């Protein structure tokens, strides 16, 4: 198990959960689909959320993954 989102790096098994996807199989399938079809993923800062797991920037800040 990977334990983190491959896009934003949020730890999947730790709060805040706030309506985000934590199933690693679903995240892997979404990741492969995005990379294979579009070749890239939009940045979290640009979209305002992670396109894979739906983590908000506030969730990333709460886990101390984004510089404030």
**In this predicted model, what pLDDT tens digit does every residue of 15-40 receive, in sequence order?**
999 899 999 999 999 999 988 988 88
Q: What confidence tens digit (pLDDT) does each residue in 44-65 have?
A: 989 999 999 999 999 999 998 7
- What b-and-e string marks burial along 18-55, b requiring 16 or more CB atoms within 10 Å of the CB? eebbeebeebeebbeebeeeeeebeebeeeebbbbbeb
Q: Where are the domains of the chain?
A: 1-68
Spatial separation of the C-alpha atoms in residues 68 and 46, rounded to whole Å: 16
Spatial separation of the C-alpha atoms in residues 20 and 31, rounded to whole Å: 15
pTM of the model: 0.80
Q: How many CB atoms lie within 10 A of CB 7?
A: 20
């Amino acid at each position: 198990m990977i334990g983190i989102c491959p896009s934003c790096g949020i730890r999947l098994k730790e709060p805040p959960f706030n309506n985000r996807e934590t199933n690693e199989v679903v995240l892997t399938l979404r990741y492969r689909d995005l990379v294979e079809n579009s070749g890239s993923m939009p940045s979290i800062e640009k979209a305002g959320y992670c396109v894979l797991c739906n983590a908000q920037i506030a969730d990333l800040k709460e886990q101390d993954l984004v510089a404030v």
